[in-house]
Structure 1
Amino acid sequence: MTQPDRRYDLPTIIFGVLFIAIMIVASFWVVQPFILGFAWAGMVVIATWPVLIKIQNLLWGRRSLAVLVMVVLLLLLFVLPIALLISSVVDNSAPMVAWVNEPGKIQIPDLEWLRSIPLVGDRVFNSYHLLVNTGGTALIAKVQPYFGQTATWFVTQAAHIGRFLVHCALMLLFSALLYARGEQVAMAIRHFAVRLGAARGDAAVVLGGQAIRAVALGVVVTALVQSVLGGIGLAVSGIPAATLLTVLMFVFCVAQLGPLLVLIPAIIWLYWSGETTWGTVLLVWSCVVGTLDNFLRPALIRMGADLPLILILSGVIGGLLAFGMIGLFIGPVVLAVSYRLLSAWVNQAPVPVTDAEEIEKELEQ
């Protein structure tokens, strides 16, 4: 009996592809609860791998002791502060939402101090009150419901503290495993990349690791330092709800908007309340914190990853909407890796000719 040519056996090909697709979908379904935790752990391990090696050298080359130290450091310096901040948001969210939604609570300030401005003070004060009397109250009444909805949305995102803590626990677990077997995991990933794309696949993995380290060190660490220092200034100056404002400042810093969006209103509030001394102290401290990223970020980014501002901003907002609080870390990393890989692929082609006459000659030929 003549056997069919298996090179062109269409049913075999179809069923083979279908079986592979089913296995991929089933595997993804099984590991789906662990994907975000593993991705977070991968980002943390890649960013802190040099620290692990240094600690291992200090601990007589014992990898187990170095892994234990790194897990404890992650727990004390990263997981616990974030968990405490989220818990503070949840604990203080109900009074804030109730206050925002209560009618008559948001009052237009009188701004009597405008009269003290030389030459134009009375005119500015009268113009301001004319605006308030003709439509300012109605404007506040229309905008107030949106304040409540916005606050409620942020509280809803922060209220997933249980899921967030689960991801933190998974991140610690996977980080310990990756720290212990980091070389083997990296070699397996590179081997798989070589199997897919030869040398270009291996280069793609290396570029992806550089992008992850650039985001983790240049963006997240800088934002964490700025927000912590800014929060200390808010607490020392006596600003109410300093913890909540610190969380908001961290979000703005990760989005590359800077801490001044929180610090400047706090300074204005202090001067407005008559606390000119603390307002001046916070003003000086804000100048230091606001310019810190200009020196800290270049020192942290060693691999020369130039990431556009719109990329980080889109990653933060999109990651927050897609994954919740953990998306603040996952979103920028995903876009940064994609951007680096796409840039490397585009740069493999020659630069286009800019002279219009040369382009016309090439088209004629």
Structure 2
Amino acid sequence: MENIRQPKDIAQVLLSVLFLAIMIVACLWIVQPFILGFAWAGTVVIATWPVLLLLQKLLWGRRSLAVLVMTLLLVLLFVIPIALLVNSIVDGSGPLIHAMSAGDMTLPELAWLNSIPLIGSKLYAAWHNLLDMGGTAIMAKIRPYIGTTTTWFVGQAAHIGRFMVHCALMLLFSALLFWRGEQVALGVRHFASRLAAKRGDAAVVLAAQAIRAVALGVVVTALVQAVLGGVGLAISGVPYATLLSVLMILSCLVQLGPLPVLIPSIIWLYWTGDNTWGTVLLVWSCVVGTLDNVIRPMLIRMGADLPLILILSGVIGGLIAFGMIGLFIGPVLLAVSWRLFSAWVNEAPLPDDTSDSVLEALAEPTEPRK
């Protein structure tokens, strides 16, 4: 008996696809405020999962106690430094804001210009000639831009506020993922297997290795260097040590190291005549500045071997695309994509023939089919 294929209902297919697309877009729209926080939490949990298991083993096998300790550690690592940074910025900008609002700003004397060798006296004389010719006029030209500058700072404060919200969401999601990590991982692997069978499951494992490599090799190294550098700044008496430590974290994340912040601090100590602490900070900076050459390769090998240019591009691009959270998410996304792409390419063997032989094979006429 001959089976007659029923024609497909094109309208039904199109409406089904449209309905699924609307449902996916609606779900993404609803969870969009939580995506960055959840991605950040997933990165943190994957990178610190072995630490959680170790704590659980030490705390008599109690997962609840281990989750509590890990959450407190995340608060110490993220919330408290950010709070100290914001407090330092507010305290340091208080007198400047008061002077702007009062309208009695006067240009500084800059007497320290005289201490610059060779050209210091000339710079000091030129500056005071400028003041004598129209210091008030200069301030009159600058004041219209004060409002624009204030608006810019308000916008940056909004970015900091969003960062704090994402940080709070990261802590919440991290606690939940720590509590049910095995079930979430099994669900993700099940979904990947449903999409691409064993290849999908292998892709999830490779992604986890890439995330751990970035977190260990980049973020942990940056935090260690910044904390040690900040300790050196605080002990040597450099002002605004908290703010400079945060700048060192950013500098280390973009692979510049802590020296762009430490070297000016050393110069400032010598300039102010504090040669003892300047020498101490100089020696300490040599140790901290070379620490990444030891820590980073060791930690990256624990996760996956990733190109340095990939990490650098991820940090800078993530910062531009997502803000401060992009410092952590950007390199992770690129690292995961690179590992998956590399695994897919390596499924095919390397070409054995030379380029000339390949061109000759293409140039050979093919026999017509009979």
* TM superposition score normalised by structure 2: 0.81
Listed as ranges, the matches of 1:137-216 within 5 Å are 156-157=155-156, 159-216=158-215
Structure 2: how far apart are the matches of 1:354 and 1:316? 39
Distance 1:12 1:160, change over 3 A: same
Structure 2: how far apart are the matches of 1:313 and 1:165? 24
Query: What runs of 5+ residues in structure 1 fail to find an aligned partner?
Result: 115-124
Structure 1: how far apart are the matches of 2:150 and 2:234? 22
Residue type matched to 1:27 in 2? C
Give the structure 1 partner of residue 85 of structure 2. 85
Structure 2: how far apart are the matches of 1:343 and 1:176? 33
Cα distance, 1:37 vs structure 2: 1.2
What do the CA deviations read for 1:187-220 (whole angstroms, capped 9, x no partner)? Answer: 1111111111112111111111111111111111
Structure 1: how far apart are the matches of 2:76 and 2:294? 26
Structure 2: how far apart are the matches of 1:155 and 1:315? 27
Distance 1:343 1:108, change over 3 A: farther
Asked whether the 8 Å contact 1:252–1:259 carries over to 2, the reply is yes
Cα distance, 1:313 vs structure 2: 2.5
Structure 1: how far apart are the matches of 2:99 and 2:93? 10
Structure 1: how far apart are the matches of 2:65 and 2:120? 68
Structure 2: how far apart are the matches of 1:250 and 1:19? 46
What do the CA deviations read for 1:131-181 (whole angstroms, capped 9, x no partner)? Answer: x97xxx9xxx9xx99xx9999868844553432232222112111111111
Distance 1:190 1:263, change over 3 A: same
Give the structure 1 partner of residue 135 of structure 2. none
Cα distance, 1:291 vs structure 2: 0.6
Give the structure 2 partner of residue 8 of structure 1. 8
Give the structure 2 partner of residue 49 of structure 1. 49
Distance 1:150 1:184, change over 3 A: farther
Of 347-356 and 28-37, the range deviating more from structure 2 = 347-356
Secondary structure class of the residue paired with 2:238: coil
Structure 2: how far apart are the matches of 1:7 and 1:151? 66
Asked whether the 8 Å contact 1:227–1:247 carries over to 2, the reply is yes
Cα distance, 1:362 vs structure 2: 3.1
What do the CA deviations read for 1:316-343 (whole angstroms, capped 9, x no partner)? Answer: 2222233222222122211221222222
Pairwise CA RMSD? 3.5
Cα distance, 1:360 vs structure 2: 3.2
Query: What runs of 5+ residues in structure 2 fail to find an aligned partner?
Result: 131-137, 365-370
Cα distance, 1:91 vs structure 2: 4.2
Give the structure 1 partner of residue 305 of structure 2. 306
Computing the radius of gyration from Cα coordinates, the structure with the larger value is 2
Distance 1:159 1:13, change over 3 A: closer
Distance 1:348 1:230, change over 3 A: same
Listed as ranges, the matches of 1:87-102 within 5 Å are 87-93=87-93
Structure 1: how far apart are the matches of 2:347 and 2:254? 30
Residue type matched to 2:324 in 1? M
Residue type matched to 1:324 in 2? G
* TM superposition score normalised by structure 1: 0.82
Structure 2: how far apart are the matches of 1:150 and 1:351? 57
Residue type matched to 2:79 in 1? V
Percent identity reads: 67
Give the structure 2 partner of residue 121 of structure 1. none
Residue type matched to 2:197 in 1? A
Give the structure 2 partner of residue 119 of structure 1. none
Alignment coverage as a number of residue pairs: 345
What do the CA deviations read for 1:44-84 (whole angstroms, capped 9, x no partner)? Answer: 11011111111111222222222122212222333322332
Asked whether the 8 Å contact 1:230–1:286 carries over to 2, the reply is yes
Cα distance, 1:33 vs structure 2: 1.3
Distance 1:297 1:154, change over 3 A: farther
Secondary structure class of the residue paired with 2:75: helix
Of 13-22 and 238-247, the range deviating more from structure 2 = 238-247
Structure 2: how far apart are the matches of 1:318 and 1:153? 22
Give the structure 1 partner of residue 282 of structure 2. 283
